[in-house]
Amino acid sequence: MAIIGGGPAGLMAAEILSRGAARVDLYDAMPSVGRKLLMAGKGGLNLTHAEADATFRSRYGARQDRLTPLLEVFGPADLRAWALGLGVATFVGSSGRVFPTDMKAAPLLRAWLQRLRSANVRFHMRHRWHGWTASDRGCTTLCFSTPAGEQQHTADAVVLALGGGSWARLGSDGRWLAILERAGIPLAPLRPANCGFDVGWSSHLRERFAGQPIKPVVAWLVDSAGVEHRRQGEFVLTAGGLEGGLIYTLAAALRDEIEASGSATLRLDLLPNHELARVINELARPRGARSLASHLQSRLQLRGAKVALLHECLSTEDFAAPERLGAAIKSLPLRLIAPRPLDEAISSAGGVCFAALDAQLMLRALPGVFCAGEMLDWEAPTGGYLLTGCLASGQAAGAGALAWLNDRDRRATATALPLTNPDGPNETD
């Protein structure tokens, strides 16, 4: 049994298969496994989310129906129990996000790899997969480039867990698309998800306010279909545009709107705790000799980067009219022109289409080949949803591969057994 890819999905598939007594060989192009997991844990490893099941599953958007059966088998509660089995206790933060008690990824990964090695999972590093042999239509002879040269390895079944297309330096470079495309597998193009966006700031804002947080705000957009997407949170101004948690939660809708219309208008409520009437009333108060900047700060606590955003979008005449300035403070339009490049994104959308897979995540066109993780065509915002989805799909692919191997062995045994009574029934039948 071969697994190609040493991220969370591949490691989970290896765990499920090794539990079922399968002999597992795991291959990865990088010098070590779990690199993206370790990177994700640098600021605190967000394992999953503690919100209600229905809300949790809704975070998978258009792929909710596809991910729900996987999450019913391995969801947030199962993930926390699994982590505890590795000796990693978890806690729920104030936002509902779930973290290890020490916030770190490395202890969990070390314990996990120790358990896998104890179960005789064999790891083959610096093995870059580049397909099957031309003559092997059963897809069991795998070809790898290694430091020792080209190698071939045979396997009874394969789980592909090759990641998406973001953070190529950590191993997710999307090269596998060409291999599966040649095999006739339906694929959706890889696109950035959980990404920043370009706005095209003035030199003043870019030079003086890049890196500044904008909080708290409510952000929303109405897409071409008339659907409103609204979230509250915070984000960061960059030299070219916007990034951060609030932007990531809206990234799919923003990206799709840019693809459909050429740009997307994101609206910001810079003072979500103030009613419009109150804002206008405060702006209309006499300010005497005070500057407008001092007036905004003293009356509404608006300062710094938020005021810079207003100057970026409004005219001098807008600032002179309390009604227009108040309306802008409560609904400031920002025109987003492009998502940041795929390799900068936290994750990617696109990949192997679910129509190409059966319920066990096996490729219909390649029996015995299963797919898992971010290489499948789904996406989710940050907040634990990505890791949970990868682990759930790895669990499903591992279970599917194990069932497929057992069914194949049963069929082979049944074919090899002689008929007990080839001449027909006898008196005791």
Query: What is the pLDDT, as a whole number, of residue 167?
Result: 87
Query: What is the pLDDT, as a whole number, of residue 429?
Result: 33
What type of residue sits at position 91?
Answer: F
pLDDT tens-digit readout, 23-39: 999 999 999 999 999 99
Is 428 contained in some domain? no
Is 225 contained in some domain? yes
- Angular region, 132: left φ>0, alpha ψ -120 to 50, beta rest: beta
In sequence order, which ranges of 231-321 are alpha helices (DSSP H)? 245-261, 276-284, 292-300, 304-313, 316-320
Residue that is last in its domain, among 339, 357, 374: 339
179: CATH: 3.50.50.60
Q: Annotate 209-229 with b (16+ C-beta within 10 A) or e (fewer).
A: beebebbebbbbbebeeeeeb
354 and 268 fall within a common domain:
no
Is 419 contained in some domain? no
34 and 115 fall within a common domain:
yes
Q: What is the pLDDT along the chain (429 residues), one digit of tens a residue?
A: 999 999 999 999 999 999 999 999 999 999 999 999 999 888 899 999 999 999 999 999 999 999 999 999 999 999 999 999 999 999 999 999 999 999 999 999 999 999 999 999 999 999 999 999 866 655 679 999 999 999 999 999 999 999 999 989 999 999 999 999 999 999 999 999 999 999 999 999 999 999 999 999 999 999 988 999 999 999 999 999 999 999 999 999 999 999 999 999 999 999 999 999 999 999 999 988 888 899 999 999 999 999 999 999 999 999 999 999 999 999 999 999 999 999 999 999 999 999 999 999 999 999 999 999 999 999 999 999 999 999 999 999 999 999 999 988 787 777 665 555 545 444 433
245 and 188 fall within a common domain:
no
For the chain, what is the domain count? 2
What is the arrangement of strands in the sheet containing 197-198, beginning at the earlier edge strand?
332-336, 264-269, 213-222, 228-237, 241-243, 197-198, 338-339
Query: Number of helices and strands (H, E) in the chain?
Result: 15, 20
268 and 125 fall within a common domain:
no
120 and 221 fall within a common domain:
no
Q: Which two tokens stand for residue 257?
A: 């709107």
188 and 110 fall within a common domain:
yes
Is 384 contained in some domain? yes
271 and 406 fall within a common domain:
no
Is residue 336 within 8 Å of 254, Cβ to Cβ? yes
84 and 119 fall within a common domain:
yes
Query: What is the pLDDT, as a whole number, of residue 382?
Result: 92
Residue count of the chain: 429
301 and 371 fall within a common domain:
no
pLDDT tens-digit readout, 275-287: 999 999 999 999 8
Query: What is the pLDDT, as a whole number, of residue 222?
Result: 95
Query: What is the pLDDT, as a whole number, of residue 7?
Result: 97
pLDDT tens-digit readout, 315-345: 999 999 999 999 999 999 999 999 999 999 9
Is residue 243 within 8 Å of 234, Cβ to Cβ? no
286 and 409 fall within a common domain:
no
- Angular region, 402: left φ>0, alpha ψ -120 to 50, beta rest: alpha
Query: What is the pLDDT, as a whole number, of residue 346?
Result: 94
Is residue 271 within 8 Å of 218, Cβ to Cβ? no
Is residue 38 within 8 Å of 196, Cβ to Cβ? no
Query: Residues near 101 by Cβ (< 8 Å), separated by ≥ 6?
Result: 88, 89, 90, 91
Among the listed residues 228, 252, 242, 13, the one whose alpha carbon sits nearest the alpha carbon of residue 112: 13
Going 162 to 193 to 389 to 41, the CA torsion angle's sign is: positive
Measured CA angle at 376 (ends 51, 142), to 5 deg: 135
Residue that is last in its domain, among 339, 372, 396: 339
Domain residues for the domain of 297 are: 197-339
31 and 105 fall within a common domain:
yes
Among the listed residues 62, 345, 381, 349, the one whose alpha carbon sits nearest the alpha carbon of residue 190: 349
88 and 110 fall within a common domain:
yes
Query: What is the pLDDT, as a whole number, of residue 117?
Result: 98
Query: Residues near 93 by Cβ (< 8 Å), separated by ≥ 6?
Result: 99
Measured CA angle at 167 (ends 375, 85), to 5 deg: 65
